[in-house]
Copies of this chain bind each other. A is one copy, B any other.
Amino acid sequence: MSIKRRLLYAATALSVGAISSLSQANEPIQPIEPVKEVNVALAELGKKLYFDPRLSKSGFISCNSCHNLSMGGTDNLKTSIGHNWQQGPINSPTVLNSSLNLAQFWDGRAADLKEQAGGPIANPGEMAFTHTLAVDLLKSIPGYVHEFRLTFGNDEINIDQVTDAIAEFEKTLVTPDSPFDQWLLGDEDALTADELAGYKLFKDSGCVACHNGEAVGGSSFQKMGVVEPYQTNNEVEGRVAVTGVDADRFMFKVPTLRNVELTYPYFHDGEAQTLTEAVDIMGRLQLGRQFTDGENAQIVAFLKSLTGQQPSFQLPILPPSSENTPPPQPFE
């Protein structure tokens, strides 16, 4: 290739890039950006805490138990298992890309990841510990004392620092570079014809009204059962529990559809085991539309193109307890 041709080629590539940026700007879904501006020491500490079952009464349940980073940041159970094998009330939402949510939990009762992180630790049905016991425990572990000192520059350990660190780690759990994002960024070959047809159906039939933006969801509360009521034995009532407003009954945070291939089963009650089932129910109850089998399969194909790069990191090695560390109490 002559220099002249190379320059011409570069200019063309540039203009293609500019065009695809433009077309991307017109789509209701935006690509996930890789995470920037991470406090690395804080996130590394948070990673250890995230994997540490000593933050539970039993010494057996960690954040990763129900938001398993080997499994799409969920437990893939209808509803979660808590302390003493208690059956949780609700399906464990994925931690992946959760920093993009307008609020945390299905009912949005936590404003952000930091506020969320303290919840399960002290929930008697989940980790069944207390913030005081968790902090006392960490203070008894020399490796943590050292790492908190390095990270925060003081000799204190408190729950604020604990949840700060966990939230900072969770900020890193974004999943960019899905086939769909590659397509959004201009790679026309990144999607199959079925995936593209599914995306067109997803837009044209109104799914994007709620499932939009970078997380393809997570940006609003919506009623479960708009056209038809949703039938479930699950007793959770959604956002009304936070606001007390009757109109918020059965309003739930719209879940992200990023990595939805990995986050089965679906809905707040986990009653839809497969994507096929979930798409069918959403079509009928939310949009009043019965998708044909072919349409359903195309939408499912599109949804599977939303699986991004999963978080990739070394399994953390936890600092050992000391002789002063209170032992866990799994059976008391």
How many identical subunits does the complex contain?
Answer: 2
B77 close to A328 (CB less than 8 A):
yes
Known contacts A59-B75, A77-B328, A276-B323; 13 additional CB pairs below 8 A are A51-B70, A53-B75, A70-B315, A72-B320, A76-B321, A77-B330, A81-B330, A85-B330, A265-B327, A274-B323, A312-B317, A314-B314, A314-B315
Task: Judge whether A316 is part of the interface by a CB distance below 8 angstroms.
Answer: yes
A 279-320 to B, binary, CB cutoff 8 A, 1 in contact else 0: 000000000000000000000000000000011111111101
Task: Judge whether A24 is part of the interface by a CB distance below 8 angstroms.
Answer: no
8 CB-based A-B contacts, threshold 8 Å: A53-B71, A59-B77, A60-B81, A78-B327, A87-B331, A261-B320, A275-B323, A312-B314
Per CB-CB distance, the 3 closest pairs between chain A and chain B, nearest first, are: A85-B85, A274-B323, A310-B317
Q: Shortest distance in angstroms between A64's beta carbon and chain B's nearest beta carbon?
A: 9
Task: Judge whether A58 is part of the interface by a CB distance below 8 angstroms.
Answer: yes
A275 contacts across to B, CB distance below 8 A: 323
A320 contacts across to B, CB distance below 8 A: 71-72, 261-262, 264
A264 contacts across to B, CB distance below 8 A: 320-321
A313–B70 Cα distance when bound, in Å, is: 13
Task: Judge whether A222 is part of the interface by a CB distance below 8 angstroms.
Answer: no
Within 75-120 of A, Cβ neighbours of B (below 8 Å) are at 75-78, 81, 84-85, 87
B72 close to A60 (CB less than 8 A):
no
Q: Shortest distance in angstroms between A60's beta carbon and chain B's nearest beta carbon?
A: 5
A265–B276 Cα distance when bound, in Å, is: 47
